Amino acid sequence: MAIAVGGAPAVILSASLPLPEPLEEMQFAGFLRRQPVEMVRCLTSELRVPAGAEIVIEGYLTPGELVRGGAFGNHTGHYVPGGEVPLMHVTAISRQTDCIYPATVVGRPPMEDCYLARAWERLLVRSCGLRCRE
C-alpha cells in the first residue's frame, strides 16, 4: 500500500470526494486540471502515486494483524474510543524537499471543514456546468 499526502489541489480534492464508481480519483483530478495527473512508481512496490505528492509512505498489511489504536478526535468535537486497527508495516518514506503537510483543524461544527465543503460544492457545480439553487 502507499499513502500519498499533499500535492496538487485537484488531487487533494478528488481524494476527499465520494466519487461514483467507476470514476477514479486521478481521473477526476485530471478532469479538474484539464490535464492528466503525472504518476510515478513507488520505491518498494509497483504501485504508482501522484508525482506531486509532498510525502509518500509505503508499506504493507498482513491480513488479520491488528493492534490497539488510541482514541480518535472526530469532526463533531468528540472523541470516539480506540479499537483494533490494521497494522501497517512501513517499507519506505519519501518526501519533497521542504515538503508541506496539508491539514485542517476541526472541532464542533460549523468549522473550516464546513466552509471547505461549501467551496468544493461551488467548484464541482461550476466544473460540471450545473447551476446552483440558492
- Any idea of the CA torsion for 72, 118, 29, 88, to the nearest 10 degrees? 0
Burial level of 49, CB count in 10 A (0-12/13-18/19+)?
A: buried
Task: Quote the pTM value.
Answer: 0.77
Who has greater pLDDT, 97 or 113? 97
Asked whether 57 and 2 are in contact (CB, 8 A), the reply is yes
Cα–Cα distance for residue pair 39/62, rounded to 1 Å: 26
Q: What is the pLDDT of residue 30?
A: 96
User: What string of DSSP letters covers 40-102?
Assistant: EE-SSSS-EEETT-SEEEEEEEEEEEEEEE--EE-TTS-EEPPEEEEEEEEEEEEE-TT----
| Mean pLDDT for the stretch of residues 54-60 | 98
Q: How confident is the model over 24-44, as pLDDT tens digits?
A: 999 999 999 999 999 999 999
List, for residues 58-101, the tens digit of each pLDDT value: 999 999 999 999 887 766 667 788 899 999 999 999 999 999 99
Residue 133 has pLDDT above 70, yes or no: no
42 Cβ contact partners less than 8 Å away, ≥ 6 residues apart: 2, 48, 49, 56, 58, 92
